[in-house]
Chains A and B, each alone.
Chain A
């Protein structure tokens, strides 16, 4: 992102209050709903992040069905990792209030231990015996 974009978003934030208009600012910080960590909006690669890098929790601020801001504003907990065809990783979030599902890209500084825990959680309690796969 260029400096011009950053300046533009800062001007927009001063002219219109994001809490009132529902617009999601591109710069600045937000506080994690779960662990209270103050997180910068921009990730290390210059992309906008929407979840806490420490506990990976997010907030339901965007309505993905209709588009635009959502009224729910509930806490969204990470439930799964998805690997796309182009090897990009996404975190799937579920709103603890209205059960809405969203996906967002994994940031470089996201907590690797929580990512690892989500990846191995299905294998801890498999619904079928895994010994069968050894015979294949």
Chain B
């Protein structure tokens, strides 16, 4: 496995993604969301690897490990499952394929729906049992 971090501790810049997004594998500068049918442009503020709809955060299972490798033949809808944070404070979305159950992580983009992101991040805290149990263990 190649190391993902550069020797000086910083992250390498994102690779350019060169895949065809149009219908039937044609070149295109937009894709249609499989969740809400929104036409999403590929150019996203803050990331070169847009893979989810900025409105409903739904993605599609086409890549296996490297963004843009198109190695997965599943093609299922991937629903946003939870939110995690990198050590440098960047938010990552975790998607789960509803067809095959595969998990993947992707950085959020600058134009992602803030309400949907917040709702996902607040979901473990919403039912209120966790803070009570955490305080009881102290």
Residues of A within 8 A of B (CB): 64-65, 79-83, 87, 89, 92, 94, 97-99, 101-103, 111-113, 115-116, 118-125, 127-128, 130, 132-133, 136
Residues of B within 8 A of A (CB): 1, 4, 64-65, 81-85, 89-91, 94, 96, 102-105, 108, 114-115, 117-118, 121-127, 130-131, 133-134, 136-138
**Least distance between B96 CB and chain A CB atoms (Å):** 8
A–B complex contacts, Cβ < 8 Å, 20 sampled? A64-B102, A65-B64, A65-B102, A79-B84, A80-B83, A80-B94, A81-B124, A83-B82, A103-B103, A111-B137, A113-B138, A118-B84, A118-B124, A119-B125, A121-B84, A122-B85, A122-B91, A127-B90, A132-B114, A133-B118
Chain B residues, CB < 8 A from A124: 85
Which applies to chain B's interface (DSSP): helix, strand, loop or mixed? Answer: mixed
Expressed in whole angstroms, the Cα–Cα distance for A97 and B3 within the complex equals: 9
**Least distance between B116 CB and chain A CB atoms (Å):** 12
Closest to B82 in A: A82
Chain A residues, CB < 8 A from B89: 125
**Cross-interface CB contact of A87 among B64, B103, B127, cutoff 8 Å:** B127
> Which of B89, B103, B115, B125 counts the most chain A CB atoms within 10 A?
B103
- Could you count the A-B residue pairs with CB atoms below 8 Å apart for me: how many are there? 84
**Cross-interface CB contact of B130 among A97, A98, A119, cutoff 8 Å:** A119
Chain B residues, CB < 8 A from A122: 83-85, 91, 121
**Least distance between A130 CB and chain B CB atoms (Å):** 8
Chain B residues, CB < 8 A from A127: 90-91, 108, 117
Q: What 8 A-B pairs are tightest by C-beta distance, nearest first?
A: A80-B84, A82-B82, A125-B89, A101-B103, A116-B134, A119-B124, A122-B121, A112-B134
Known: A83-B82, A92-B84, A127-B91. A112 touches B1 (CB 8 A): no
> Which of B82, B91, B125, B130 counts the most chain A CB atoms within 10 A?
B82
**Cross-interface CB contact of A101 among B105, B125, B126, B127, cutoff 8 Å:** B105
